[in-house]
Amino acid sequence: MPVFEPEPAPRAAPTLAPLGEPAGDLALAIRGLTKHFGSVTAVDGVDLDVPRGCFYGFVGPNGAGKTTTLAMVTGLLRPDSGTVLIDGADVWTDPATAKSSLGVLPDRLRLFDRLTGTEFLHHAGALHGLDRATVARRAADLVQAFGLESASRRFVSDFSAGMVKKIAIAAAMIHSPRLLVLDEPFESVDPVSAQLVIDVLKKFAQVGGTVLLSSHSMDLIERVCDNVAIIAEGRLLAAGPMSEVLDGTTLEDRFVELAGGATAVEGMEWLQSFSD
Ligand SMILES: Nc1ncnc2c1ncn2[C@@H]1O[C@H](COP(=O)(O)OP(=O)(O)OP(=O)(O)O)[C@@H](O)[C@H]1O
């Protein structure tokens, strides 16, 4: 199917390239990315290499800086400092080139919800300059792949939260990008639909596409991704091939060990005194 066919690219060695000059086999290279909101440092000097063809998970506790990082990576939020190269093109100095190879599912996406599912996909394809016949063919492929056949003629405003996620991911893929950046793609998505989405994304990665996604589901990230980055308080604590980051433990254990969070609930004895 044409939708899942980015230019085949060699699968990169499963190690992080030495930080410095980004290597040429990277789908995404982030250097020194920093963002402050007033006195809060949301993202603090993040360096990350995402090799082509990999399925990269991005995890961290609430408020760790995941959404802020992904927003800067995709050109939605201007960094205070740092650079982002997508397929070698700088998101901020060469946005047209960088964004032509990028598909995005942003956080809290607002859709044009008075369009039907199919119209929405056509709109996304047209924005990327695809001709009508190509858009129609790809939209039909995507509707089928994401199990949205019965929804394709309904208004997006009538979609469930999970269906909205699926149509938004489909729209992010319609121009056959090289890199997909998905912020919480499985939030509100039931397990059967999540598996459907994972299958589509795996197919995309198998033919040389690259996926970077954030999620709070450690099981899912461990099962699906071949690389993972753990962020807390705006700093990257670990990044690289899953087996190296886990080092024999589970992702959940590694996450708690690095990012904290397994604290006992103390000082809430009143909770056991019940109002009656
Ligand atoms: N627009 C904003 N204005 C002020 N502070 C912000 C803004 N966006 C994010 N922050 C702050 O930046 C920090 C990182 O937030 P961010 O949303 O990136 O975290 P996250 O890892 O995506 O969290 P979650 O898992 O809860 O979605 C938090 O302290 C947050 O309060």
Q: From the CA of 40, how far away is ligand 1's center (Å)?
A: 9
| Cα–Cα distance, 38 to 260 (Å, whole number) | 25
Q: Write the residue with the smallest CA distance to atom 7 of ligand 1.
A: 37
Q: From the CA of 218, how far away is ligand 1's center (Å)?
A: 20
What angle (nearest 5°) sits at the alpha carbon of residue 28, between those of residues 14 and 233? Answer: 90
Instruction: Please tell me if the CB atom of residue 127 comes closer than 6 angstroms to any atom of ligand 1.
Output: no
Chain length of the chain: 276
Q: From the CA of 67, how far away is ligand 1's center (Å)?
A: 7
Instruction: Please tell me if the CB atom of residue 39 comes closer than 6 angstroms to any atom of ligand 1.
Output: no
Q: From the CA of 76, how far away is ligand 1's center (Å)?
A: 14
Give residue 113's pLDDT: 85
Instruction: Please tell me if the CB atom of residue 42 comes closer than 6 angstroms to any atom of ligand 1.
Output: yes
Give residue 268's pLDDT: 76
| Cα–Cα distance, 66 to 269 (Å, whole number) | 34
Instruction: Please tell me if the CB atom of residue 62 comes closer than 6 angstroms to any atom of ligand 1.
Output: yes
Complex-level ipTM beyond the 0.95 threshold: yes
Spatial contact of 178 and 201, defined as CB atoms under 8 Å apart: no
Q: For the segment 23-36, what is each residue's pLDDT rounded down to a tens digit?
A: 568 999 999 999 99
Give residue 265's pLDDT: 56
Distances (CA, A) of 216 to 39, 133, 184, 185: 26, 38, 8, 10
- Of 53-57, 148-152, 225-229, 248-252, the range with the lowest mean pLDDT is 148-152
Instruction: Please tell me if the CB atom of residue 33 comes closer than 6 angstroms to any atom of ligand 1.
Output: no
Predicted confidence band of residue 21 (pLDDT cuts 50, 70, 90) = low
CA distance from start to end of the chain: 63
Neighbours of 25 (CB within 10 A): 15
Kindly give the residue spans of alpha helices, DSSP state H, lying in 74-190: 95-100, 117-127, 132-145, 161-173
Give residue 4's pLDDT: 46
Q: For the segment 148-195, what is each residue's pLDDT rounded down to a tens digit?
A: 998 889 999 999 888 999 999 999 999 999 999 999 999 888 888 899
Residue 139, pLDDT > 60, answer yes
Q: Which atom of ligand 1 is nearest to the CA of 183?
A: 22
Domains defined for the chain, CATH in brackets: 24-101+178-260 (3.40.50.300), 110-176 (no CATH)
Q: From the CA of 63, how far away is ligand 1's center (Å)?
A: 5
Residue 10, pLDDT > 80, answer no
Residue 8, pLDDT > 80, answer no
DSSP SS3 for 53: coil
Predicted confidence band of residue 13 (pLDDT cuts 50, 70, 90) = very low
User: Considering just the CA atoms, what is the radius of gyration of the chain in Å?
Assistant: 19
